[in-house]
Amino acid sequence: MEKQEIYSPKGKVPFISKIAYGFGDVGCNFSWSFVVSFLMIFYTDVFGISMAAVATLMLVSRFWDAFNDPLIGSLSDRTKSRWGRYRPWLLFGAPITALVLVLCFWAHHDMSYMGKIVYMSVTYGLLVLGYTCVNLPYGTLCGAMTQNTDERAQINTSRSVAAMIAIGIINIITVPLVKYCGDGTLSSAQGFIWVAALYGLVFTLCHWFCFAKTKEVVEIPMSQKAYPIGEQLKAVAKNKPFLMAVVGQLLFGFILYGRNADLIYYFKYVEGNEDLFSFFSGVIVIPSIIGAALFPMVFRRTGNKGWAASVFSFLMGICMVVLYFFSPTHSPVMFYLFAALAQFFFSGFNTAIYAIIPDCVEYGEWKSGIRNDGFQYSFISLANKIGMALGTSLLALVMGWAGYEANMVQSDTVKEVIHHAFSTVPGVLWIITAGIMLFYRLSRKQYNQIVAELQSRKEA
């Protein structure tokens, strides 16, 4: 009886469950952030693939996502097990995805160039599918743990803080680890595969911990039937807060992942010292944690998660534009000050943009009578990946057009492209995002009224 009161849709989520949920995103980042920050430079500088081929892969793979994301979302909604709908995917999907991660970073130098293209395409496609099978149910799990909007804010704060710590650790240790495990350079094939194996293990263990210490308590209404995809799409189209969340994720993926892919190039070729990447990452860890933890306070002040995201996005954009005028070698104090501030505001935005998503599920159920957590989250995941594909492929195309050559001294044009991709371009785009997120209208007051009305319908 006591356990039933603790795990209730409107009650408090146990502290250990919040921590475990956060560890899930630690695992996600030991896979995906590693891929976003280092797979592109692995392809170009280690595996010997051209920028044009990498850009094409990133774009074409999104057609694959357009198929598998809604499919996995729908399948996870229909999963029935003693562990719930979403948690089993973490248990079984994590180790398989970890194996594919290792295969992605396995450089076959004896292959023909066309063989490398095929190998890259197949392994990356499998990695995207595996990651979807784990990350999509993981993201949906938050909405199944509670219907309390403040508890969801805390859960997503735990997720964001954990993610920021994980990203910081990955960015600090990856370059030294690759060099240590390989031949002492960032172009080491052996170094990358050993690091991928280590990160795959962390990915698996973190998701198993999340599986073990979380619980699903929000159920699909017993009266709800299995709706055809067409009806679910119509319901989603009527969900205005959800459509805003999709737009937010598209912009989020485009700006964040394009810049993240650029970071290692910036320090290696513009600043001439790839080891600065690790130092830079260490400087922004603490601001990341504080910024993520600040979100609940900003949410209480604004009463609207979208508006909270807008505040963080605007201030982050300003800091990134200013960052263009400073260098870690010539003006390190100002450079790292604005880098830390930008990351501080980014962490708050990251927490806010993910905290929006579960609330949209209740709104959709209230509006249409259909509750489809996984199906909705699949479009969040797809929008994020489309944004990532556009951001990284555009970066690769522009760098290729400017004349990028792997492991060579770059021209001033290439350096300028990399420099703007690090600062001014994402800065302006974050400011635009801030304006767009002001159109998110689902407030705390309105959400609580919706949940109360849904409960009345169930009791009736």
Q: 77-116, pLDDT tens digit by residue? A: 888 888 888 999 999 999 999 999 999 999 888 899 999 9
pLDDT digit string, tens, across residues 121-177 = 999 999 989 999 998 899 888 888 888 878 888 888 888 888 888 988 998 999 999
> Is residue 286 predicted with pLDDT exceeding 60?
yes
Lookup result for tokens 């982050």: 316
* CA separation, residue 70 to residues 75, 232, 359, 379 (Å): 8, 11, 19, 7
> Is residue 225 predicted with pLDDT exceeding 60?
no
Residue % of the chain over a pLDDT of 90: 49
**Domains of the chain by start residue, with CATH:** 12-459 (1.20.1250.20)
Q: What is the pLDDT of residue 146?
A: 86
Q: What is the pLDDT of residue 418?
A: 96
**What is the separation of C-alpha 281 from the centre of its chain, rounded to a whole number of angstroms?**
17
> Is residue 3 predicted with pLDDT exceeding 50?
no
> By C-alpha distance, which of 272, 255, 276 is closest to 386?
255
pLDDT digit string, tens, across residues 32-71 = 889 988 998 999 999 999 988 988 888 887 777 777 778 8
> Is residue 287 predicted with pLDDT exceeding 50?
yes
pLDDT digit string, tens, across residues 247-282 = 999 999 999 989 988 999 999 999 999 899 999 999
Q: What is the pLDDT of residue 11?
A: 67
- The identity of residue 365, as a single letter, is E
Calculate mean pLDDT across residues 398-425. Answer: 93
Q: What is the pLDDT of residue 259?
A: 93
> By C-alpha distance, which of 11, 5, 1 is closest to 145?
11
Q: What is the pLDDT of residue 350?
A: 87
| Confidence label for 226 from pLDDT (cuts 50, 70 and 90) | low
Residue % of the chain over a pLDDT of 70: 95
Q: What is the pLDDT of residue 7?
A: 55
Q: What is the pLDDT of residue 455?
A: 82
Core vs surface per residue 28-48: b (16+ CB within 10 A) or e: bbbbbbbbbbbbbbbbbbbbe
Would you call 48 helix, strand, or coil by DSSP?
Answer: coil
| Confidence label for 2 from pLDDT (cuts 50, 70 and 90) | very low
Whole-angstrom Cα distance, residue 359 to residue 367?
13
Q: Which tokens sit at 334? A: 């100002």
Calculate mean pLDDT across residues 229-247. Answer: 85
Give the list of residues 6+ apart from residue 341 with CB closer than 8 angstroms, or none: 287, 315, 319
> Is residue 438 predicted with pLDDT exceeding 90?
yes
Q: What is the pLDDT of residue 4?
A: 42
Q: What is the pLDDT of residue 117?
A: 93
For all residues of the chain together, what is the average pLDDT? 88
> Is residue 413 predicted with pLDDT exceeding 90?
yes
Whole-angstrom Cα distance, residue 310 to residue 431?
8
The number of helix segments (H) and strand segments (E) in the chain equals: 17, 0
Which uninterrupted H or E stretch holds 45? helix 15-45
Would you call 3 helix, strand, or coil by DSSP?
Answer: helix
Q: What is the pLDDT of residue 283?
A: 92
Would you call 254 helix, strand, or coil by DSSP?
Answer: helix
**Could you tell me the pTM of the whole model?**
0.77
- The identity of residue 87, as a single letter, is R
Whole-angstrom Cα distance, residue 130 to residue 235?
28
